[in-house]
Amino acid sequence: MNQLEQLKRHTTVVADTGNFRQLAQYAPRDATTNPSLILKAVQQAEYAPLLAETVAAHRGEPMDEVVDEVLVRFGREILKVVPGRVSTEVDARLSFDTAGTVARAHRLVALYEAAGIGRERVLVKIASTWEGIRAAEQLQREGIRCNLTLLFAFCQAVACGDAKVQLISPFVGRIYDWYKKAAGAGWDEAANAGANDPGVKSVRAIYNHYKRHGIATEVMGASFRNTGQIVALAGCDLLTISPELLASLQASDAALAPALDAAAAKKMDLAAVHYDEKAFRWALNEDAMASDKLAEGIRAFAADAVKLERLIEGLRR
């Protein structure tokens, strides 16, 4: 078996893309999108008619509603290819607005349901801010499943678990990027690879904590820079992987064994941890990497949302 086939024996493989025409060859169970991936997809010639058609069908409607129609249209197409779930992201500009996030999530789910797609096949992606976690907590009680994204700190994972969210997406590659940049010329790639990669270590700590304390929230490693990071997290509940790295795994016949073990984690001596709002905000503030990358991620997704709006506005003229 190639590495992708081997990985699927231990982990649910998810495709991280808005390019739904690439999906079938890798046979992932689920797919994830974000504003940047959707923006990238709609600028490709093969998807331009889909964007134009969606915009034309909703001409005259408020921009935020048209954007959600576009996001859901891509999600619907993805769900024709994958048998499981699609993650669709709430506007990053609502990352500190609990009520606004809840309202936008309601609209996204309603659009899917109006198209005949049950909410069990949709994960609403929300930034792992305190406000975002509170929104997800409310949505989960309503039966709307959430994927908490832009997760870099252990305190974010703990708060998500306490809120009983469906799934979290800790970002491996962006953690790696931060530590590599901070180390500068002193960075030793070999010493920080595989199990020693700082992003891998972060996900492993979260996974072990969840399994040790019986937290049902699914852990889905995300944002990978190389296949070594993926191999080092084999056994994680899910891993969402770009088409480029899926192709690399498919092209390799190297042996792959599980690196994470739920049964072993249950026996670990790990203390239970909980955060109220003040403790959460302090812990996040004290983690320079996490606070930097969370803010940067929100800004980047918000900027791409604006670019998508400008593209739509150009089509509406």
What are the residue numbers of the active site?
125
- 169/295 Cα distance (integer angstroms): 16
Q: How many CB atoms lie within 10 A of CB 311?
A: 16
Residue 68 DSSP one-character state? H
- 26/243 Cα distance (integer angstroms): 8
Handedness of CA 293, 85, 247, 221 (dihedral sign): positive
- 287/304 Cα distance (integer angstroms): 26
Q: How many CB atoms lie within 10 A of CB 15?
A: 28
Q: Helix, strand or coil for residue 292?
A: helix
Closest residue by Cα to residue 302 from 35, 16, 98: 35
- 265/214 Cα distance (integer angstroms): 10
Handedness of CA 47, 52, 55, 57 (dihedral sign): negative
